[in-house]
Amino acid sequence: MSNRNCKKSHRWWQDSFMTTNAPALALTIAGSEATGGAGAQADLKTFQELNVFGIVNLTCIVSFDPNDNWNHRFVPVDQQTIADQLEATTASYGPASGAPSVLETVKIGMMGSPATISTVEAALKATSFKNVVLDPVLICKGQEPGHALDTDQALKAQILPLATFVTPNHFEAESLSGITINNIEDLKAAARKIHEISGAAVLAKGGVRIAGADAVDVFFDGETLEVLTAPKVGEVAVSGAGCSLAAAITAELAKGATPLEAARTAKAFVTEGIKHRVTSGAPFTALWQGGARG
Ligand code: PXL
């Protein structure tokens, strides 16, 4: 085959498959968790599983320390490198890129420092994304508490107001709402309060922290309040469940689901992933994103 033919056949391939079957796009701005259970790895696997073209811009690298109670060793990516990744991504797929499929949906995972929050805030303000899903990862085990507090405050002040959907766990919902959560009524009050503060749709997760046979989450978007329940699978939190839930919401929103539909699909996806969780030498199991395949 001549070079010319080769080029022609390449174009034919592109036209027939790539443009007609273009997947929805989603970006996660998140940290790497080296063992693959949580963070950017969980997000990317979830996107792929839900038929969404996933993009990762890394904020930090977390390596659990088996010699220190599996606490997190945390290394930030430098600010210029985070900004460079965001620039590359928005130039390729952002609203002004001219791409046939535009990136409208972003998930915010672990930021890890006030500096990273400012870098990401600037990028979110420069590109108006339709869906900004915030998984408000507040405290990372092993992080210095003073530093974590600064990060929490910056997240609340700078990123939460830009979010269209927020997925706090029990601890994060208490911190964001100021409400102590002991039961489902408290979780509902917290979801309402976080919506009031942020204007975002909220999925407040009770997980294994609220007593009872079911894992209960509360959805509230200012109009609809829905309690999502699924039977608990064990009584111990599974690594990657929170990341995968928010990533599944992100993927579903990218494909055009409503926030409530996205929350329901994500809950079912995560429940199956927990049922098929993966055991390792670490003292926790990891969610398997392929669990919903049947
Ligand atoms: O599950 C929260 C989380 C998010 N992102 C990163 C993490 C973790 C928890 O380990 O390491 C990078």
β-bridge partners, 30: 58
Tell me what the mean pLDDT of segment 70-86 comes to. 96
Q: What number is the average pLDDT over the span 277-286?
A: 96
Q: What residue ranges define each of the domains in the chain, with the CATH number in brackets?
A: 24-293 (3.40.1190.20)
Going by DSSP bridges, is the β-strand pair 131-134/165-166 parallel, antiparallel, or unpaired?
parallel
What's the token pair of residue 91? 């130039």
Residue written as token pair 């390449």: 10
**What is the predicted pLDDT for the residue at 142?**
59
First to last CA, the chain: 44
Mean pLDDT for 258-263 is 98
Q: Whose CA is nearest to atom 5 of ligand 1?
A: 39
Distance 57 CA to ligand 1 centre (A): 15
C-alpha–C-alpha distance, residues 270 and 257, integer Å: 17
Q: What is the pLDDT of residue 143?
A: 62
- Cβ of residue 112 lying under 6 Å from some atom of ligand 1: no
**DSSP code at position 240:** T
Query: Among candidates 176, 280, 272, which has minimal Cα distance to 220?
Result: 176
Q: How far is the CA of 31 from the centre of ligand 1 (A)?
A: 7
Distance 56 CA to ligand 1 centre (A): 14
Letter string b/e over residues 217-252, b meaning 16 or more CB atoms within 10 A of that residue's CB: bbbbbeeeeeebebebbeeebbbbbbbbbbbbbbbb
Taking residues 75-86, report their average pLDDT. Answer: 98
- For the Cβ of 200 lying below 6 angstroms from any atom of ligand 1, the answer is no
Name every residue whose Cβ is closer than 8 Å to that of residue 80 and which is 6 or more positions away in sequence: none
Q: Is 58 in the pocket of ligand 1 (CB under 6 A)?
A: no
Residue 69 is predicted with a pLDDT of 93
Index of the ligand 1 atom closest to the CA of residue 31: 12
Residue nearest to atom 6 of ligand 1 (CA): 39
- Give residue 245 CA to ligand 1 midpoint distance, Å: 13
Ligand 1 centre from 33 Cα, in Å?
A: 6
Burial 263-290 (b: 16+ CB within 10 A, else e): bbbbbebbbbbbbebbeeeeebbbbbbe
Pocket test for ligand 1, best of 56, 110, 135, 139 (most atoms within 8 A of CB): 110
> Which residue out of 29, 108, 111, 140 has the highest number of ligand 1 atoms within 8 Å of its CB and is therefore the one to mutate?
140
CB-ligand 1 contact for 253 (6 Å cutoff): no
pLDDT at 115: 97
Residue among 181, 45, 162 nearest 111 (CA): 162
Residue nearest to atom 10 of ligand 1 (CA): 38
Tell me the pLDDT tens digit for each residue of 129-188. 999 999 999 876 656 666 778 888 999 999 999 999 999 999 999 999 999 999 999 999
Structure tokens at 162: 């830009």
pTM, rounded to two decimals: 0.92
In contact, 290 and 49? CB cutoff 8 Å: yes
* pLDDT over 60 (residue 9): no
Atom 3 of ligand 1, nearest CA residue: 39
Contact 89, 12 (CB under 8 A): no
Distance CA 28, CA 43 (A): 7
93, 25 contact by CB (below 8 A): yes
Collect all residues with Cβ–Cβ distance below 8 Å to 267 and sequence separation of at least 6: 217, 228, 230, 245
The single residue listed with the structure tokens 């080029």 is 7
Question: Going by C-beta distance under 8 Å and a sequence separation of 6 or more, which residues neighbour residue 31?
Answer: 39, 40, 58, 59, 60, 61, 62, 109, 110, 112
- Ligand 1, atom 9, lies closest to the CA of 38
Q: Which atom of ligand 1 is nearest to the CA of 240?
A: 1
Residue 243 has pLDDT above 50, yes or no: yes
- Separation between Cα atoms, residue 66 and residue 100, nearest integer Å: 46
Per the model's pLDDT, the better-predicted residue between 72 and 29 turns out to be 29
Per-residue confidence (pLDDT) for residue 8, from 0 to 100: 45
